[in-house]
Structure 1
Amino acid sequence: MTERRVRVGTEELRVDELAAKGGGQASVYTLTDRPGTVVKLYREPQGPDQERRLERMLGLTPLGGRPTNSSQPPELAWPTGVVRGLDGAFLGYAMQRFGEPDHIPLIGLFTRAQRLRWFPPRTDWKFLLGVCWNLAFMTARMHHEGLVIGDFSSNNIVVDGNGFVTLLDCDSIAFTDPGSGEHFPALMQTADYSAPERQAGGPATEHTDNFALAVLIYQLLTVGNHPFGGVPHGSSSDSTIKDNIAASCSYVVQPDKVVTPRGMIEPAILPPALLTLARQAFGPGVRSPAERPSAEDWLRALDLERGRTHTCPERPRHSYGFHLQACPWCTRAAQSGQDPFNPPPAPAPMPPPVPADPAAEPEDKSLITPGILIFWAILAAMVIAVIVAAANG
């Protein structure tokens, strides 16, 4: 196979043959010569608008100027260079690498198996609460600087072992170039996180980001449950989350109108202030974008809840909101056998085989037994009788 080479700025670099990540629009590859950098290469040739967008992005330093902990990664996987072929053709862009095992897609926090695999032993509800805070903080900072995420989903966010989040695919965000005043809209979206007006073809705005943020926070705090999951009464069994969003039908707001899967976490697991924001976002906020809680609203409420969680005395990985009198995860484990934060109990060991009692075994281990001898004697007598009868006949 011919080695693939690209240019990032003036530097010629080798591209690994296998993609580290693939999507509908592009694939991400690591660079053989620069392991800490990846390149996102578009599958189809892009027009001049996308090339110009990336060139403008290189002149910006979003979310900069804020002191951060030395262990905290950047909140944005911002482009670091335009990628071209050796012939000068525009192919994509380069960015810092955020990959496993140091950075895991946010969706990995939605299932017990992935949480236990990538985040032990910090797989409790308080950790998820902290991830929500970081997510709301990043969103609030982006909106303050006039940036709109647009394609905001669990697949475009990665999280590290400390709960810090980083937004990927920054080439799809909406922004206005401060130099030229040119506006670059967000064109991509993910159905399960798209507000109704976005589904209908409207532009990405801070309000559409606020809708997706509310969905993500709810999913994190209910260990993966989507607030628009389930099947509304009277609808077909193939009703999708996208359909439920468009119909403004959420079990969080209208539990009597939706049949939810067994084992779904009850909305009351959220502390009252957070549940109020969720019901505002998934109730009146679905149809009225301005009524959705902002990232700042979530940030203030989450900040309050982080300081007053309980830890279960029986199971240290069980933490929960101050409003609950007993550990909900222990109750859930006792009633259904499902514990979202602890590994399943190890199966009981198989008993060792019991050796046979030598005294119970027959002493004669030959193949010829008394029963077989009797059988052959009877058979021989019958044959002789037939022969005698034939001779007398």
Structure 2
Amino acid sequence: MNTVVCAKTNQDIILLDKIANSGEGEVWTTNWSGMLAKIYHHPTPERFAKLEVMITHQPDDPNKQLNHNSFAFPQSLIKDNKGNLIGFLMPQIQGGVELIDIYNPRRRRIKKLEVDWHFLHYVALNIASIMTTIHREGYIIGDVKPQNILVNSQALPSFIDTDSFQVRHPYSSQIYPCLVGTEGYTPPELIGKDFHNIEQYIYHDNFRLAVLIYQLLFSYHPFSLGHWQGAEDKPEQNELIKRGYWIESEHNLLTHNQNTIPLNILHPALQKLFKKCFNDGYSQPHLRPSAEDWFYGLSQGVNHLKVCDQIDSHVHSSLENNCYWCDRSNKLNADIFKLPTGIKSTSKIRIKSSSSTNYNNDQTNLFPKNKNKSTQIFDAIFDANNIEEILKQNGKEITIIGQVINNITNGVLPHKQNSQYLVLQIKTIEFFDNNQEYQSYNIQEYQPLYIIVNFQKFPLFLNTINNISIDLYLKVYGKIQVNKGIRWFPRKNIPIFSIIPPFLRRSRGDRTDTIIVRNHLNTPQIFLENLNQIMVLSESEAKSLLSFSDQNNNANVNSQP
């Protein structure tokens, strides 16, 4: 038996059975309960520098209280008996099957799995919530594919192969790229690119997530089936992705046939998200829905599912009178939700249980027997204009929807004299005029929300944040800090872009170089630590998210079905 050493504790680890071997390395079971060891064939200093960042900065596992590992994150480096770094320890994921075994009808019948549309919605919902957690910590998954996601019988997924993630050092601009990708999941703008030389962003993962969710809900890839209407031969899948041709694209070159499933069987919120990702997001990748957007859309979808009156394994939208799956199976003489012999449907029990409750911002567990309160990863959504309520959230992590009023670049905060900041302000209450005569509108005893970025600490934010213009709608996530002592002093040559409330505009004048915040006003702030905390929305999206949040808050709901 081989013996290696844990670099964190200097304790011996015995390698027992080799369970996987690839060009990158070997994976072994160990004598440490619930832990696997990955040993690299060709260790490099860069690889271990990346792993050190991951070990030090772990995402919060949303399923920790359910005793489920949502991701097999590195826990410690491993040394050989000469003290050389050779690999790392990670949690062992047990009791799961690959994602393709869940969404592929033939494979789930072979494995005798009970899977219906309700179960598939839940798997997609939980993948979205886990990816939100990962993105919030600043990681990009990169190699998103079905083989890297295992799912258990509770519809709880686990991400493996996490050492391939793209990692950004949280205190510098150092990027450790994701070097691998999978055909069919690479967004069009990255096809043919050398992953060794590019930095990936959250919107690249957003494309991959949309493909996975489509496969879960429809059982096939969105850029595959369909009747080709073009003059030339039907392009390969990668070429279809590169051109933006899918079955619901505006080009109408790929159309439905008897084997394809129409998008309109989904809840309208999900239809919109798919179109936004694959149509709008084709030329403007930053418009692709985030993992959190998918969570909210899938929550609405799950809340509008019902069991078919004829076949228990058929679950369809409650917005439709007829069961689509019955109509399809009668037409094609093939039922993709036919259960394996000996397997009985539990859909009525599950959907009855989930219909008695609703969804809040907790990670979602499919079955009612696990009633443990899980870690909150989706926090309450607040309207940026509701400053009084935001102030009450001091110290809490929340999501805020608002419209940009000011973009104050290169400002210097008095308590951080050497730090370059940008401030996005939601609403202006006080300002100076050109003669620096103080104009005070003491409307309330608090200031509007400030979103603050330290460009010395995070220099790569500069270009992105500077492009955020006045009147854009933003979704911002972070911890609220209420500051009672920030003062902005008059300063020349600081570009300040202001739009003040309509009832003050007639007396606005031209004010371009100075702004002040009085000491006694309470100022709610969010300090950005990664770009995944901020997202540009359309007006309709902003209103939709706020409306969804209001409905959930009014229902006083919880996420356990």
1:106-143: per-residue Cα shift (whole Å, max 9, x none)?
1211222433465743x110111111111111122222
Query: 1:155: how far off?
Result: 1.6
SS at match of 1:75: coil
- What root-mean-square deviation, in Å, do the aligned CA atoms of Structure 1 and Structure 2 show? 2.6
User: 1:145 maps to what in 2?
Assistant: 137
1:260-309: per-residue Cα shift (whole Å, max 9, x none)?
78623333332222112111211121221112112222121111121121
SS at match of 2:35: strand
Aligned partners of 1:103 and 1:129: how far apart in 2? 17
Deviating more after overlay: 175-184 vs 293-302? 175-184
User: 1:13 maps to what in 2?
Assistant: 13
User: 2:2 maps to what in 1?
Assistant: 4
Aligned partners of 1:125 and 1:170: how far apart in 2? 28
1:217-245: per-residue Cα shift (whole Å, max 9, x none)?
111111x21011147434445x4322211
**Structure 1 residues 255 and 75, CA, compared in 2 at 3 Å: closer, same or farther?**
same
Aligned partners of 1:4 and 1:334: how far apart in 2? 58
User: 1:382 maps to what in 2?
Assistant: none
User: 1:325 maps to what in 2?
Assistant: 321
Alignment partner of 1:305 is 2:298: no
Alignment partner of 1:48 is 2:45: yes
User: 1:340 maps to what in 2?
Assistant: 336
Report the TM-score when normalising by structure 1.
0.77
Unaligned runs of 5+ in 2: 343-561
CA contact (8 A) 1:103 1:159 kept: yes
User: 1:250 maps to what in 2?
Assistant: 246
Aligned pairs (5 A) from 1:25-174 = 25-31=24-30, 33-34=31-32, 36-43=34-41, 45-63=42-60, 68=63, 70-99=65-94, 102-116=95-109, 120-121=113-114, 123-174=115-166
CA contact (8 A) 1:229 1:260 kept: no
Aligned partner of 1:241: which letter? Answer: Q
Equivalent residue pairs, number: 334
Greater fraction of residues in strand: 2
> 1:182 aligned to 174, 187, 211, which one?
174
Aligned partner of 2:96: which letter? Answer: H
Aligned partners of 2:339 and 2:255: how far apart in 1? 29
Query: 1:170: how far off?
Result: 1.5
1:192-233: per-residue Cα shift (whole Å, max 9, x none)?
1111222243432100011111111111111x2101114743
CA contact (8 A) 2:103 2:217 kept: no
> 1:221 aligned to 197, 212, 217, which one?
217
CA contact (8 A) 2:69 2:93 kept: no
Unaligned runs of 5+ in 1: 347-393
**Structure 1 residues 332 and 283, CA, compared in 2 at 3 Å: closer, same or farther?**
same
CA contact (8 A) 2:35 2:91 kept: yes
CA contact (8 A) 1:124 1:317 kept: yes
Deviating more after overlay: 208-217 vs 88-97? 88-97
Task: Pick the structure with greater CA Rg.
Answer: 1
Aligned partners of 2:108 and 2:188: how far apart in 1? 31
**Structure 1 residues 176 and 158, CA, compared in 2 at 3 Å: closer, same or farther?**
same
**Structure 1 residues 42 and 342, CA, compared in 2 at 3 Å: closer, same or farther?**
same
Aligned partners of 2:318 and 2:165: how far apart in 1? 37
Percent identity, please: 27
SS at match of 1:341: coil
Aligned partner of 1:276: which letter? Answer: K
CA contact (8 A) 1:271 1:322 kept: no
CA contact (8 A) 2:248 2:255 kept: no
**Structure 1 residues 119 and 143, CA, compared in 2 at 3 Å: closer, same or farther?**
farther
* Superposition misfits of 4+ residues, deviation over 6 angstroms: none
CA contact (8 A) 1:81 1:94 kept: yes
Aligned partner of 1:83: which letter? Answer: I
**Structure 1 residues 113 and 289, CA, compared in 2 at 3 Å: closer, same or farther?**
same
Query: 1:175: how far off?
Result: 2.9
> 2:286 aligned to 286, 290, 313, which one?
290
CA contact (8 A) 2:143 2:165 kept: yes
Aligned partners of 1:13 and 1:116: how far apart in 2? 39
Greater fraction of residues in helix: 1
**Structure 1 residues 197 and 24, CA, compared in 2 at 3 Å: closer, same or farther?**
farther
**Structure 1 residues 70 and 120, CA, compared in 2 at 3 Å: closer, same or farther?**
farther
Aligned partners of 2:108 and 2:340: how far apart in 1? 13
Report the TM-score when normalising by structure 2.
0.55
CA contact (8 A) 1:196 1:287 kept: no
CA contact (8 A) 2:210 2:274 kept: yes
SS at match of 1:314: coil
CA contact (8 A) 1:27 1:41 kept: yes
CA contact (8 A) 2:270 2:297 kept: yes
Query: 1:180: how far off?
Result: 5.4
**Structure 1 residues 240 and 25, CA, compared in 2 at 3 Å: closer, same or farther?**
farther
Aligned partners of 2:200 and 2:112: how far apart in 1? 33
Aligned partners of 2:131 and 2:5: how far apart in 1? 33
CA contact (8 A) 1:104 1:118 kept: no
**Structure 1 residues 276 and 89, CA, compared in 2 at 3 Å: closer, same or farther?**
same
CA contact (8 A) 1:72 1:164 kept: no
Aligned partner of 1:209: which letter? Answer: D
SS at match of 1:6: strand
